[in-house]
Amino acid sequence: MTGRSDRSGSFRSLRVRNYRIYASANLVSLTGTWMQRIGQDWLVLQLSGDSGIALGLITALQFGPTLLLSMYGGVLADRYAKRRMLVATQALMGLLALVLAVLVAADGVALWHVFVLAGALGAVSAIDAPVRQAFVSEMVGPELLANAVSLNSTIFNGARLVGPSLAGLLIGAASGDTAPAFFVNAASFACTIGALLSMRARELHPSPPLARAKGQLRAGLAYTWAHPDLVLAMALAFVLGTFAFNYQVTIALMTREVFDLGAEAFGLLSTCFAVGSLSGALLSTRRSRRPRQRFLVGTAIVFGLLTMACGLAPGYVSFAVLLVPAGAAGLVFSVANNSFVQLGVDPQLRGRVMALYFMCFMGGTPLGAPLIGWVAEHLGAPWGFLIGGAVAVAAGLGAGAWLARGRRVRLEAHVSPPRVQLHVGPRTAPVRAAVEAAAGQATGRRSAGG
C-alpha cells in the first residue's frame, strides 16, 4: 500500500527531498526570469519606438545560441557532474541580469546593450537547459521522471502566472522604469544556487559519466535518427517552436498596436496565457506513462487552431479569454513532447538527445520570432497569430498523415466534455509483417549482444 501511494498523486515527486528544495527555489528563480522577460521586451519597445522587428530580434538573439551550443551542453551534461555545472551557469545568468539592471538604473542603457546581453544570456542558457533537463532524472529516478517533468512545467507556468503581473506592477509603479524587474531577477538566482548546494549527494541517481572521446556529438545525432519516434517529436518541436510559440512577441504587439495599452495590460495578458499554461501543466501531472505519438499530433493541431482563434479575437476581453485555452493546449503539447523524448532515450545519451530536442524546440526561434515580428508589424499583429497557428495545424496534419501510413484513421470531436480524439487502427497486413520482421531482427541482435 505504501509503495503504491509513493508512486501515485499529482505531486508525488515532491516527496523526494532533493527535488522538493530544487523545485521551491526554481519557482522563485523562474518568477524573476519572467519578470526580466517582460521588462526586457518593454525596454526594447521603449528604445526602438515600438518596433516589432526589434522585438523579434531580441528574442532571436536570446535563443539563437541554442543552435550552436546546445549539443555541446548535452555532451557536457553526459560527461560531467550536472549539479556543479548548474551552479556555474546559474551564477553567470544572475551576473548578466545584474549588469542590465545597473545599466538601466544608471540611465546608460542603449538598444545594443540589450542585444549583447540577451545574446550572452542565450549562450549560457543553451548550456544550462540540457544539463537541467538531464538532471531531473538524477533527482527523482526513472519511475518519477514523467511526473517531475510535468511538475517542472507547472512550476515554470506558475512563475509565468506571477512574474509578468509583478513586472507590470513594478514597471508601472516606477513610471516605466524596468530596472527593478532586472534587480529582482538577479537576486532570484541565489535561491537556485543555494538549493543545489544544499542537496544530499548520496540521494541522487547519477548516470555513469561519459568518458571523453571523439564522435560523441555524432553518436547522439545517429541515435536520434535511428529512432523514427524521436524524429517525429523533434520535427513537431521545431515547427511549432519556430512559428507558433511566439506569444512573447505577438502579445506585446497586440497590447501596443491593436489595443493601445500599457505595461500593466501587457502583464495581464501574459498572465492570462500563463493561467492556461498552468492548467495544462497540472493536467499533465496525472500522466505516469510515456505519451503516444497520436497524442502529440492531436495536441499540436488543437494548439494551432486556438492560436488562430486568438488572431481573430474582436476585442481585448475576448483576446484575453482565448489566451487561456491556447496556453493550456500549448503546454500540454510541450510537456507531452518533452516526456516522450526523455522516456524514450538511453540514460547515457539523455543529455545529448535532450540538447538536440532543445535545439529543435528553441533553435527555430531566431528564424521564427523576427519573421512573425515582421509579419505583425507590416500586416498587423493578428496575422502573427493566424500564420503561426496555420503552420502548426499543417505540421500536425502532416505528422498525422505520416504516422497513419497503412493504418485506419478516425478523428472524433466531442462537445461534452470538449475534446478531440485521434484513433489510429492497426497497420495493414504487409506493413505489419514488415514491422514484426524488423522487431524480430532487433530481438536477435539484443540476444546476440547479451
pLDDT in tens, 371-429: 877 887 788 888 889 999 999 999 999 998 888 775 555 555 555 555 555 555 555 44
Give the pLDDT confidence of 334-375 residue by residue, as tens digits: 888 888 887 788 777 777 787 788 778 876 666 777 787 788
- Average pLDDT of the residues of the chain: 80
Check: CB of residue 404 under 8 Å from CB of residue 412: no
In a domain, residue 303? The reply is yes
d(CA 117, CA 377): 24
In a domain, residue 272? The reply is yes
In a domain, residue 168? The reply is yes
Overall domain count for the chain: 1
In a domain, residue 243? The reply is yes
In a domain, residue 448? The reply is no
Domain that residue 353 falls in: 9-201+215-403
Residues in the chain: 450
Cell of 282: 497540472
In a domain, residue 4? The reply is no
23: left (phi over 0), alpha (psi -120 to 50) or beta: alpha
Give the pLDDT confidence of 277-336 residue by residue, as tens digits: 878 877 877 766 778 888 999 999 999 999 999 999 888 899 999 999 999 999 889 888
Please confirm whether the linkage preceding 417 is cis (ω < 30° from 0).
Answer: yes
d(CA 296, CA 417): 20
In a domain, residue 429? The reply is no
Contact partners, residue 377, CB within 8 Å, separation at least 6: 51, 52, 53, 253
Global confidence as pTM: 0.66
In a domain, residue 132? The reply is yes
User: The domain that contains 395 carries what CATH number?
Assistant: 1.20.1250.20
